[in-house]
Structure 1
Amino acid sequence: MRVAVTGTPGTGKTTAVERLADADGPASGLAVEHLNDVIHEEEFVVEHDDERDSAVADLDAVADYLDGRDDVLFESHLAHHFDADRVVVLRTHPEELERRLTDRGESDAKAAENAESEALDVILSEAVERHGEESVYEIDATETEPEEVAAAIEAVVAGEREPQAGTVSFLDYL
């Protein structure tokens, strides 16, 4: 099984997946790939976007890297761009997202851009468009401890959670 964990930067993907990797359960049989690390380690960066102060990845190279890998859970804000059986989209209220991003040193402009993206459901919409509603699992991680988010991802992997998309709304932010 291939499981993608995606979401706007700052939603808690890496932290939740790290907690999940430390737990016993259905997900423990999956290899974990942190795609942002893979992109840098494998030199899949094709340019640097100075305006956004971010690396631009060669998505075809990442897809090739993942090709043939089964029993893998991969996480990144780009994870929904790749073939997966199930796609978990972590969501966080934009105000909390902005706080998290600025706390970790992101510029106010980058934090605001990501918060707006979260309010507009950009990653969720892309995930549903590519994978269909029947494969997308939305989780609101705003006030949820990382262990609880990891347990929710584990439930997705185990088939104990029904797909859902569009249940979280942050339009109040706009």
Structure 2
Amino acid sequence: MFPSTSVALSGSPGSGKSSIAELAKSSGWEVISVEKLAENHGLIGEFDEQEQAKEIDIEKLRNSLGKINGPLIIDGHLSHHLEVDAIVILRCKPSILRERLEQRGYPKWKIESNVEWEIIGSSWSDIENENVAEFETSSTESYIVWSCIQEWINEGHPSRKPFIDWMND
């Protein structure tokens, strides 16, 4: 079956998390969103009009859950804050990410914020877990990315460096 690995599936909005999560489900993995986990533990707040999302107290969720056992994939751009065995970060070329977010109808300020976040990659560089891998999703079909992720998990999810750097792109 699957290694008993808990995997955080993170990345900027528009990087392909939902597509990969659907492929994982169709491959037999249990997949749950960070939002659903927070909801299940009573740690989801009100809808934030400015952010256009429900607030999640990720620190309280992390403390409440402790070490998460697998096999399980946790989908969401905050999932890398949880205590899991491995972290997958989906990365998308900023110009393509911008197009994807525009197609979703995101407001301009939110598009700019997410594109800037992707360029800097700051949250990814602060991850303490050693079992981190980035997968580039700009022009690669989702099923190929998912195949690469499965291979990485089956190899024992070793850290993959160097990380993607969009600063000179």
Q: TM-score, normalised by structure 2?
A: 0.84
Q: For residues 9 and 165 of structure 1, what CA distance do their matches in structure 2 show?
A: 23
Residues 151 and 42 of structure 1: CA distance in aligned 2, closer, same or farther (over 3 Å): same
1:152 CA drift (Å)? 1.6
Contact conserved, 2:35 with 2:44, CA < 8 A, in 1? Answer: no
Q: In the TM superposition, what are the counterparts of 1:123-162 in structure 2 within 5 Å?
A: 123-127=123-127, 130-131=128-129, 134-159=130-155, 162=158
Name whichever structure is richer in helix by fraction. Answer: 1
Q: For residues 51 and 32 of structure 2, what CA distance do their matches in structure 1 show?
A: 25
Matched, 1:58 2:54: no
Contact conserved, 1:138 with 1:166, CA < 8 A, in 2? Answer: no
Matched, 1:20 2:24: yes
**Which range moved further: 66-75 or 139-148?**
66-75
SS for the counterpart of 2:168 is helix
Q: What is the number of residues matched between the two proteins?
A: 164
Q: In the TM superposition, what are the counterparts of 1:3-82 in structure 2 within 5 Å?
A: 3-23=7-27, 28=28, 30-40=29-39, 43-63=42-62, 66-67=65-66, 69-71=68-70, 72-82=72-82
1:98 CA drift (Å)? 1.2
Q: For residues 49 and 95 of structure 2, what CA distance do their matches in structure 1 show?
A: 25
Supply the AA of the counterpart residue of 1:78.
L
Residues 60 and 162 of structure 1: CA distance in aligned 2, closer, same or farther (over 3 Å): closer
1:63-84 Cα offsets, whole Å, 9 max, x none, are 3564464111111100100011
Structure 2 residue runs without a partner (length 5+): none
Residues 69 and 76 of structure 1: CA distance in aligned 2, closer, same or farther (over 3 Å): same
1:11 CA drift (Å)? 0.5
1:41 CA drift (Å)? 6.2
Q: For residues 106 and 55 of structure 1, what CA distance do their matches in structure 2 show?
A: 16
1:96-131 Cα offsets, whole Å, 9 max, x none, are 11111121121111011000000001232132xx21
1:61 CA drift (Å)? 4.5
| Deviation >3 Å, runs of 4+ | 37-43, 47-51, 64-69
Q: Percent identity?
A: 24
Q: For residues 149 and 65 of structure 1, what CA distance do their matches in structure 2 show?
A: 31
Which residue is equivalent to 1:109? Answer: 109
SS for the counterpart of 1:56 is strand
Q: TM-score, normalised by structure 1?
A: 0.82
